[in-house]
Copies of this chain bind each other. A is one copy, B any other.
Amino acid sequence: MKAEVITIGSELLLGTRPETNSLFLVDELGRLGIQVRWKTVVGDEEEDIAEALKCALQRNELVITTGGLGSTLDDLTRRIVAKVTHRRLVLKEDLLAKMPKGYEKQALLPARAQVLKNPVGTVPGFMMEVGECHLVVLPGIPYEMKRIFTDSVKGLLQKLVRGARPFHIQVIRTFGLTEAQANEALIETLKDLTGESSEQCLGLVAGPTGVDIYLRGCFGPLTREISILERFKASLRKRLGEAIYSEEGRDMEEVVGFLLKKRGLKLAVAESCTGGLIGHRLTNIPGSSAYFERGVVCYSDQSKVELLGVLREMIARFGAVSAQVASALAKGVRGLAKTDLGLGVTGIAGPGGGTPSKPVGLVHMALAYGAETWCESFQFRGDRGGLKLSFSQAGLDLVRRHLLHL
């Protein structure tokens, strides 16, 4: 069953924030065995919505739209759906009776459409058959859209796709590899499995947190496919080793948290260039107080000296961004917090502040544990936001790799 999600709303086209309704729908449809092939975002222009709808109805067996269903000026969807599908709009008396004043328009539905009740808002959705295609029309407010989908749409779709093969996406996450290295491992792995289906491999994405490899995993009784997927993962594991930090798409902070908890160790962090991002990421995980004791955002030299005991002469001689200072930060914060581990990170996030010998993207980090301190440095590329993310990822990965061997 080919499927498309159309999200409607001018604010979704405006370039300021990502659209999230479709993420929910893509995930839910996958669990029903329905693969979304296209997502289309369109503004509140009558002509443009009609065009998107026509295109989608032609190439799919299922189209779900969200947005443009309320009673405000820019809500056009129901009228355009009626026009494109050549149906009249019919006033549903039973809906009208329950509609608050000012919302009467919401009781209008295309002829022969099935009402999808909205238990948490005033505007109902609807579903109809258009030739070979099932069209589901939902409101745009995420909370209401999700509820209608879960309460009504899911069950209806389940009947339509009986026997379909539910799937989910598995993300193998790596750090410390170039895209080319990850790709080579992927190619070798595909060679290993010659003769088997290569459908499991969906590709890879490189970003500030590393390279992610996307696999398509099947649930259910398809043991053959499951075993292919497992062999796929085993082959990748053999090639990439510890560069893989999660085989379940988890974030680095969750993996580090899990390892710290398992080993009963506590961590404190001294962050300069990352400005609090490492602490923020660690505390995104519920229960992180079990292993994250404190953080110091030592943005000024003064704070490095006062709170963490970095020597002024050291900063003067080697610079605030140096392996020496990173090491002193790690030891300093560990001593201050009396934790098992101390992580220190100092780098240049840019856009200014770089020099030929210390360019933007350079980061030094150190991990103190017992009498030992491990130092590492990286040179990343990216803008300020991307660099801060890469720095934080490298810092957390330093902790992870050492925890693996403790």
Q: What is the interface of chain A, defined by CB distance below 8 A to chain B?
A: 9-20, 22-28, 30, 36-45, 48, 51-52, 55, 59, 70-74, 102-103, 120, 140-143, 146, 169, 171, 179-180, 183-184, 186-187, 190, 198, 201-207, 212, 214, 249, 269, 271, 273-280, 282-284, 286-289, 292-300, 302-303, 307, 336-337, 349-352, 381-386, 388
Contact across chains for B205 and A17 when beta carbons are under 8 A apart: yes
Query: Which of B16, B23, B59, B171 is within 8 Å of A18, CB to CB?
Result: B23
Contact across chains for A40 and B43 when beta carbons are under 8 A apart: no
Query: Which of B39, B73, B184, B299 is within 8 Å of A292, CB to CB?
Result: B299
Given contacts A15-B24, A73-B198, A297-B297, 19 further A-B contacts (CB under 8 A): A9-B203, A11-B212, A13-B36, A14-B202, A15-B26, A15-B28, A15-B30, A16-B169, A17-B205, A39-B40, A40-B41, A72-B186, A73-B201, A74-B201, A140-B205, A141-B206, A143-B383, A286-B350, A294-B299
Closest to A75 in B: B203
Contact across chains for A280 and B283 when beta carbons are under 8 A apart: no
* A71 CA / B10 CA spacing, docked (Å): 35
Contact across chains for A300 and B295 when beta carbons are under 8 A apart: no
Contact across chains for A388 and B280 when beta carbons are under 8 A apart: yes
Contact across chains for B286 and A294 when beta carbons are under 8 A apart: no
A214 proximity list for chain B (CB < 8 A)? 10-11, 14, 16
**Shortest distance from the beta carbon of A370 to any chain B beta carbon, whole Å:** 21
Query: Which of B27, B207, B384 is within 8 Å of A286, CB to CB?
Result: B384
Contact across chains for B275 and A280 when beta carbons are under 8 A apart: yes
Contact across chains for A70 and B307 when beta carbons are under 8 A apart: no
Contact across chains for A295 and B289 when beta carbons are under 8 A apart: no
Which of A14, A28, A38 has its CB near the most chain B CB atoms (within 10 A)? Answer: A14
Contact across chains for B284 and A297 when beta carbons are under 8 A apart: no
Contact across chains for A42 and B37 when beta carbons are under 8 A apart: yes
**Shortest distance from the beta carbon of A391 to any chain B beta carbon, whole Å:** 11
Contact across chains for A183 and B73 when beta carbons are under 8 A apart: yes
Contact across chains for A283 and B295 when beta carbons are under 8 A apart: no
* A72 CA / B180 CA spacing, docked (Å): 8
Query: Which of B30, B39, B44, B293 is within 8 Å of A302, CB to CB?
Result: B293
